[in-house]
Each structure stands twice: as structure tokens, then as C-alpha cells.
Amino acid sequence: MPVSSTGPDSDETASSGGADAARASSGDTSATQTSKDSQEDGALPINELFYSLQGEGILAGVPSVFVRTSGCNLRCWFCDSYHTSWEPTHARMGLDEIVAEVESFERADHVVLTGGEPLLHEESVRLLERLSERGYHTTVETNGTIFRDAPIDLASISPKLENSTPTPERDPRGEQSGDGAGDDAESGQRSAGDSSRDSDGIASRHERDRIDLEAMARLVETYDSQLKFVVTDESDVTEVESILEDLRAASTASIAADDVLLMPEGATRDRLAETRTRVAELAMEHGFRYTPRLHVDLWNDAPET
């Protein structure tokens, strides 16, 4: 069910982070950290809602209903859900409407709440409560910068590494994202349409906010969880190991290597063909799990997969 038809969301919600994210992790739901609209009308900004196979992580291959919210507090240059982060679009859906749509997929008993960053929205908690009451297994896919108390069966935490930070050479609308627009990679110059992103400080905010150890520690202490990192080379694994060391020091939870998954970067089959073998080798070398991107292997970059 495509629902991304009502135009862009306000960047006030979509670009928050840092101190605001820390406040959200301790229970503060300020306007910059949650959707004001969802608080006011009991609805969520939904980019798409569909039935497919879980493509990543320990539940890869499980038939699931995906509820994708719009709005994110980070700006990964390789984001595979561009229209939930860089240019958010959505339709507002009430919780009753969302639950009814989920229930229409009669064979599914797993629901994945994803984004964007679904924990930006306070109403996500109430949606998860309703789904839990109906017996659904719920996975929440989160970047790990926000904690909320909710009935979550699996917290799929994807901390963002330095390789996610946008630069003039790594623009989400440039050649590396496949549309051939944006950067002049040789000169390192952005096209005129991207100048506002530099002046807005999006890259610096992303770099500042991408890791929140306090929120991540609460997530792994509270929920069954997996830590899923997008990796391209050995330097990324060095950063993964550093984050794990800091997280183990900050948390009372036991975090085993088996809880850590390395995932290749790539939203298309062609890009995955370039990255996945090396990431699989790195997983074996360091004793971590490797996770495929099954949906990309099966359907490439088609929507609602």
C-alpha cells in the first residue's frame, strides 16, 4: 500500500538530534524530537505500508508487514529510504487505520516498524501497544539514538558509522546514489541545488548525533536486540569494535559477537555485487555475523520491498 502522496514533511521534525535526542532517550518528547502532528491528532506520518519478506538481520526471510514512518534525525548519504529522511513524504494515518491495514495481511504475524526513525514519534509507542495486544511479533528498526518504553520484541539497532556522514563527494542525489545528479566527484563541488545542505550544517549535525551511547545502552538493556552495522572495509570494522567496547562499558547488558551483524552497503543489486563479498570476509575474520540484504537480491530497489 503506497501512502507517500502528501508531500514533504517539516524538517523541524526530521533533522533533530544531539541534545534533543538525549532528552528523548530520557523521556523528553520535545517538538524537535517527535512529530507534533502525531501528538496532536493521534496519527503517524506513514511513507508506506506493505507486506514482504524481512530482508536483513536474524529474521531475514520471515514474511512481515512493514510500517514505514517518515522523518529522521540523521542524514546518511546512502539512505535506502530517501523519502523518509532527506525529502520526507507521507500520508497521515490514524492508529486504527494502520492496525486495520496490518490485519488485512492475514498470513503475517510479524510487523516491522521502520523508517526513517520510527522512535521519533511518540505515537509509535501506542501503535506498538496495539500490535502487541493483538499478538504480533514486533521488530523496531532504529538508529539507536532514541529510547522509548514500548512492547518491542526485537530492537534492530543500526548505529551509524563515520562512513554514513554525507560529504561533497558522497551526496545522496549524486552519482553514487544512482541518479547521476548532484556532485562533480572530480572537483569535489556540489551542484547549486545542494548548496543549502552545506549552509544548513546537515553533515556536521549528522556526525555529532549519529552515536548516542546512553540511548543505545538502554535499548540493549531493555529489549532483545541485534546490532547491525553497514560496513564497506576494514576501517569500518575497527570503528564497530570501538563502539562495542564503549557500549559494553556503558551498559549492563551482555553483548556477544553473535549479536553483531555486518551488512554490506548497497540499495541495488549492482552495488551489492561490489560490496558483499568483502563484508562477508570481514565478518568471518572478526567473528561477527553477516547479514544479507535479501530484499535487494530479490527485487533490486523496487518500492514496497
Q: Which residues are annotated as a binding site for [4Fe-4S] cluster?
A: 72, 76, 79
Q: Are 23 and 215 in contact (CB under 8 A)?
A: no
Please, what sign has the CA dihedral across residues 68, 70, 76, 80? positive
What is the C-alpha end-to-end distance of the chain, expressed in Å?
11
| CA 30 – CA 121 distance, rounded (Å) | 10
According to DSSP, the residues that pair with 96 across neighbouring strands are: none
Annotated binding site for Mg(2+), which residues?
A: 81
Sheet hosting strand 137-142, strand order edge to edge: 91-94, 43-53, 63-69, 110-114, 137-142, 154-157, 225-231, 260-264, 289-290
Annotated binding site for S-adenosyl-L-methionine, which residues?
A: 78-80, 116, 158-160
| CA 230 – CA 257 distance, rounded (Å) | 16
Q: Write the DSSP symbol of residue 81.
A: -
Residues 6+ apart with CB under 8 A from 292: 55, 56, 60, 263, 276
Q: Are 178 and 249 in contact (CB under 8 A)?
A: no
Annotated binding site, which residues?
A: 53-55, 68, 72, 76, 78-81, 114, 116, 158-160
Q: How many residues are there in the chain?
A: 305
Annotated binding site for substrate, which residues?
A: 53-55, 68, 114
Please compute, for residue 85, the number of CA atoms within 13 A of its CA located in the half-sphere on the CB side: 23
According to DSSP, the residues that pair with 230 across neighbouring strands are: 263
The three-class DSSP label of residue 171 is coil
Q: Nine-digit cell at 198?
A: 552545506
